[in-house]
Structure 1
Amino acid sequence: MATLEICCFGAECALVAERAGADRIELCTSPAEGGITPSFGMLRQVRDLVRIPVHPIVRPRGGDFCYTQADFSAMKNDISLIRDMGFSGAVVGLLNEEGHIDLPKMEILMELAGPLAITFHRAFDMCINPLLALEQLTQLGVARILTSGQQANAELGLPLLRTLNEKTQGPIIMAGAGVRLSNIQKFLDAGLKEIHSSAGKVAPSTMIYRKAGVTMSSDSEVDEFTHYCVDEDTVEAMKDIMSIYAPLAS
């Protein structure tokens, strides 16, 4: 059966995903920025509560994946912490100014990672040459590549996803970005063995009193009385489809 990884933005989401049958969790904070490194408190809480594999993201800020030395120092500290806390893997990605994999920095992080299974995240979708990047990441020894096939969503990127899946000699190609219950079958049909989804929904705040005219966000369009969370029913339904599909694919 294919593996279902769920992107979670907190301990409660991680517990919901585990209960619903997820195989692995990518742990992040800040969904509006595409995910950044969780706090130590969140890391410890999820490590202590969740039994399925958890792979925290190592991303010091939003924006691009070309990092300063200060950014990189934080990443080295974070990946060492994640390793020492006993997580099974981590998620990371770095590019240089020309849009290639930043090999010198990645080599350092891979050495620091030790036994961690490393996922190279969607920085891959911003690189200039995906087939060269696949070769380089194979040589680096990453466990998997999370990619939308260099498109706005993975359904549009299916042609490249198929090509990468056929050519890979090491890293697992994991489809992510816009993977939903409504289209998950397409990725299974393409032969992909790992699927990444947020399987999310927006939940309302429990606040009764709501102060008008005051916001904590620089984006005036943000509704601060909602929050993003994992939809348990969606995760369960995804796993049902994957389990039904498994004997057909064998």
Structure 2
Amino acid sequence: MTKLEVSCYGVDCAVTAQQAGADRVELCSAPSEGGLTPSAGTLKAALERVSIPVHPIVRPRAGDFCYSAAEFASMKSDVAFIRDLGFPGVVIGMLDEDAHIDRVKMREIMALCGDMAVTFHRAFDLSHSPKRALEELTELGVARILTSGQQQSAESGIALLKELTQLSEGPIIMAGAGVRLSNLQKFLDNGIQELHSSAGRMVPSPMRYRKAGVSMCSGNETDEFSRYCVDSDVVEAMKGVMQMNNSVRVA
């Protein structure tokens, strides 16, 4: 049974994803940074309003995945907080200086997680050797690996995604990065069991007044009066394709 995980940058988007039929939500903040740890208030609201599994990401900053002692301490605190709130899973990942899985830190994380399912995120795509990384993450006991097949987009990395899926004796290989309705069938045809998509669109701000010459961002091209939100029609359409694919397999 194939599953669709939707990355959501806020609780309203998570509710939309749920209503449209998503199987799971990856909850993040800071879309322009590639997804960072959501706030305590967001985490608590998600538990109150969303009934499908919600897996918060734990990522203290943008950039690479080789963390300092102080950063790692904050990550452990966040993991413990998420665990104690009662979330069923968490999304996390870290590499050492040579771009291998940081097994020492990950062992500490796995011990902290308790019964939570652990998704090792796209830090995998920056790792030195994907097959070695798969072996190490299997030994660590992670539930799934979110990956683009070590390419800029999952569609470009589909050959490695298929190979990893066939090799894996433990973690589910979940394709992510550029997974959309238009290429969804390619992943299903290659045996990918879980797909990760933002399934969204840009939505304009409800603000009518726009202050000229003042910006809260350093990037000149950033539009502060629009935001990325989950599109319920896209989620429904993607789930429809996946359900049809499941029905064909059963038949």
TM bin (shorter chain): over 0.9
- 1:200 Cα deviation from its structure 2 partner: 1.1
The alignment partner of 1:83 has SS state of helix
Q: How does 1:140-151 map to 2 (within 5 A)?
A: 140-151=140-151
Q: TM-score, normalised by structure 2?
A: 0.99
AA paired with 1:185? Q
Q: How does 1:93-112 map to 2 (within 5 A)?
A: 93-112=93-112
Distance 1:207 1:58 in 2: 31
AA paired with 1:5? E
Superposed CA deviations along residues 206-242 of structure 1, whole A, max 9, x for unmatched, are 0011100000001111010101100110000000000
Superposed CA deviations along residues 17-64 of structure 1, whole A, max 9, x for unmatched, are 000000000000001111000000000000111000000001000010
Distance 1:188 1:197 in 2: 14
Equivalent residue, structure 2, for 1:165: 165
Q: How does 1:65-104 map to 2 (within 5 A)?
A: 65-104=65-104
Equivalent residue, structure 2, for 1:207: 207
Distance 1:170 1:19 in 2: 30
Equivalent residue, structure 1, for 2:122: 122
Superposed CA deviations along residues 146-195 of structure 1, whole A, max 9, x for unmatched, are 00000000000001001100000000000000000000000000101100
Number of residue equivalences:
250
Equivalent residue, structure 1, for 2:180: 180
The alignment partner of 2:91 has SS state of strand
Residue 249 (structure 1) aligned with residue 249 (structure 2) = yes
Equivalent residue, structure 2, for 1:60: 60
Over 6 Å off, 4+ runs: none
Q: TM-score, normalised by structure 1?
A: 0.99
Distance 1:230 1:131 in 2: 33
The alignment partner of 2:218 has SS state of coil
The alignment partner of 2:174 has SS state of strand
- Segments of structure 2 that go 5 or more residues without pairing to the other structure are none
- 1:122 Cα deviation from its structure 2 partner: 0.2
Aligned-CA RMSD value: 0.5
AA paired with 1:241? V
Superposed CA deviations along residues 116-151 of structure 1, whole A, max 9, x for unmatched, are 000000000000000000000000000000000000
AA paired with 2:213? G
- Segments of structure 1 that go 5 or more residues without pairing to the other structure are none
Superposed CA deviations along residues 88-112 of structure 1, whole A, max 9, x for unmatched, are 0000000001000000000000000
Q: How does 1:210-249 map to 2 (within 5 A)?
A: 210-249=210-249
AA paired with 1:182? S
Distance 2:249 2:220 in 1: 48
